């Protein structure tokens, strides 16, 4: 179907809507809307007019068969572009892209570990002086110290997000989410449509981290406070679960969406959008001709491999081995990392 360059809401052009009894569409009309209109009026084709001039632009034609249910896709952002999979077929950045993702995550972890080591050294030197000057502050903080330590324990994870937000990987992550939204909503996978999709996706792994942070922070804080008031371990744990679980279950997607929008992603560039589109087209083409293994074990193995986590772990483990080797043979580097 030919369309105009300017998107408009679908409407009836002058002199056609009421007299002909047929709807007319503009270029922004989705295929789903057009298909519904075709079914309602019992026609196999309907014209598309320019809403201002009434000029004929093209026709919507009813498809011979109803479109299949859009697939559910997963994916990852890699230094080589977007990786997508439906659990069997995959597209975009391949094995080395996923391995490089593990390497990048490892490098970010090393940087954050070195930074936290320096921050810990500063805290060891500064906090005793602070408590000597204000001893009442120490007395007030002591019952909550376990909870405070738990919050401090999440500092490296927060710093990892902050560093990743500064890298191009965050834009690729956004493109991955946007193209998955586009495919799963049955929309045309074109740059304009992909760019209009949200950067936050409900199945992103960031939501899992949000749930973990919420639950553990509240649980450890409540548990430590209860233990400080002479409750038993069992009672303290029960109080912690009762208070932490509902909050985590209620707000994990909200907090996860916040983390995705502000830390895990940033607006994608045109190149990153194109990478996502290329990955989506590849996985959809391969999905159409994919063969499914009959053996359940083979299907499970293929699904696990398609997830990409194994390849990321390979890259992460390789970098960890190099860092460990260097730290062992060059002590200043080990001291910098606090190992």
pLDDT in tens, 252-261: 999 999 999 9
Residues 120 and 191 in one domain: yes
Task: Give the rounded percent of residues in the chain with a pLDDT score beyond 70.
Answer: 78
Measure the CA–CA gap between 233 and 227, rounded to whole angstroms.
7
Residues 46 and 194 in one domain: no
Task: Flag the least confident range among 31-45, 139-153, 277-291.
Answer: 139-153
Residues 306 and 158 in one domain: yes
Hey, CA dihedral for 332, 335, 336, 339, is it positive or negative?
positive
Measure the CA–CA gap between 134 and 233, rounded to whole angstroms.
31
| pLDDT band for position 68 (cuts 50, 70, 90) | low
48: left (phi over 0), alpha (psi -120 to 50) or beta: beta
| pLDDT band for position 25 (cuts 50, 70, 90) | low
In this prediction, residue 19 carries a pLDDT of 37
Residues 85 and 34 in one domain: no
In this prediction, residue 119 carries a pLDDT of 80
Residue 259 lies in a domain: no
Give the end of a domain, one of 18, 43, 67.
67
Q: Does position 11 have pLDDT exceeding 70, yes or no?
A: no
Q: What is the pLDDT of residues 305-314, one digit of tens each?
A: 999 999 999 9
Residues 174 and 300 in one domain: yes
Residue 82 lies in a domain: yes
| pLDDT band for position 268 (cuts 50, 70, 90) | very high
pTM of the model: 0.73
Residue 237 lies in a domain: no
Residues 279 and 326 in one domain: yes
| pLDDT band for position 8 (cuts 50, 70, 90) | very low
Residues 149 and 32 in one domain: no
Residue 223 lies in a domain: no
**Contact predicate 284/190, CB 8 Å:** no
| pLDDT band for position 81 (cuts 50, 70, 90) | very high
In this prediction, residue 289 carries a pLDDT of 80
Q: Does position 12 have pLDDT exceeding 80, yes or no?
A: no
Q: Does position 325 have pLDDT exceeding 60, yes or no?
A: yes
Q: What is the pLDDT of residues 120-132, one digit of tens each?
A: 777 767 767 766 7
Residues 292 and 184 in one domain: yes
Query: For residue 207, how many other CB atoms are within 10 A of its CB?
Result: 20
Residue 213 lies in a domain: no
Residue 241 lies in a domain: no
Give the end of a domain, one of 43, 67, 91.
67
Residue 236 lies in a domain: no
Among 35-39, 163-167, 325-329, the range with the most confident prediction by mean pLDDT is: 163-167
Residue 2 lies in domain: 1-67
Question: Which alpha helices (DSSP H) does 134-232 contain, by range?
Answer: 135-141, 145-153, 155-166, 168-184, 191-195, 206-228
In this prediction, residue 171 carries a pLDDT of 98
Measure the CA–CA gap between 39 and 37, rounded to whole angstroms.
5
Q: Does position 296 have pLDDT exceeding 50, yes or no?
A: yes
Residues 101 and 18 in one domain: no
Give the end of a domain, one of 45, 67, 89.
67
Residues 35 and 106 in one domain: no
Residues 187 and 290 in one domain: yes
Q: What is the pLDDT of residues 210-252, one digit of tens each?
A: 999 899 889 988 998 899 888 999 999 999 999 999 999 999 9
The number of folded domains in the chain is 2
Q: Does position 316 have pLDDT exceeding 50, yes or no?
A: yes
Of the candidates 244, 189, 254, 194, which has an alpha carbon nearest to the alpha carbon of residue 215?
244
**Contact predicate 210/298, CB 8 Å:** no
Q: What is the tally of helices (H) and strands (E) in the chain? A: 14, 5
Residues 55 and 84 in one domain: no
Residue 271 lies in a domain: yes
Mean pLDDT of 169-174: 98
């Amino acid at each position: 179907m030919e369309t105009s360059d300017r998107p408009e809401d679908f409407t009836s052009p002058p002199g056609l809507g009421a007299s002909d009894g047929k709807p007319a569409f503009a270029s922004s009309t989705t295929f789903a809307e057009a298909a519904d209109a075709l079914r309602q009026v019992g026609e196999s084709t309907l014209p598309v007019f320019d809403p201002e001039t009434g000029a004929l632009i093209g026709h919507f034609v009813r498809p011979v068969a109803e479109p299949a249910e859009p697939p559910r896709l997963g994916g990852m952002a890699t230094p080589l572009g977007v990786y997508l999979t439906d659990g069997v077929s995959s597209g975009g950045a391949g094995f080395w892209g996923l391995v490089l993702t593990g390497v990048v995550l490892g490098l970010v972890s090393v940087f954050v570990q070195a930074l936290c080591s320096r921050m810990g050294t500063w805290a060891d030197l500064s906090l005793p002086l602070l408590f000597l000057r204000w001893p009442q502050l120490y007395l007030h903080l002591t019952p909550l110290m376990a909870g405070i330590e738990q919050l401090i324990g999440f500092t490296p994870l927060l710093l990892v997000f902050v560093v990743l937000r500064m890298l191009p990987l965050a834009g690729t992550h956004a493109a991955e989410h946007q193209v998955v939204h586009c495919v799963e909503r049955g929309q045309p996978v074109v740059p304009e449509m992909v760019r209009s999709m949200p950067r936050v996706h409900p199945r992103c792994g960031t939501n899992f981290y949000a749930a973990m942070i919420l639950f553990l922070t509240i649980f450890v804080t409540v548990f430590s406070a209860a233990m400080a008031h002479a409750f038993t371990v069992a009672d303290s744990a029960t109080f912690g679960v009762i208070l932490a679980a509902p909050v985590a279950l209620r707000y994990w997607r909200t907090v996860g969406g916040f983390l995705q929008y502000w830390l895990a992603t940033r607006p994608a560039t045109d190149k990153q959008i194109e990478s996502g589109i290329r990955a989506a087209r590849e996985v959809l083409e391969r999905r159409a001709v994919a063969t499914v293994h009959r053996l359940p074990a083979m299907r499970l193995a293929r699904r696990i491999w398609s997830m990409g986590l194994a390849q990321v772990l390979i890259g992460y483990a390789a970098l960890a081995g190099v860092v460990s080797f260097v730290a062992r043979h060059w002590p200043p580097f080990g001291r910098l990392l606090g190992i």
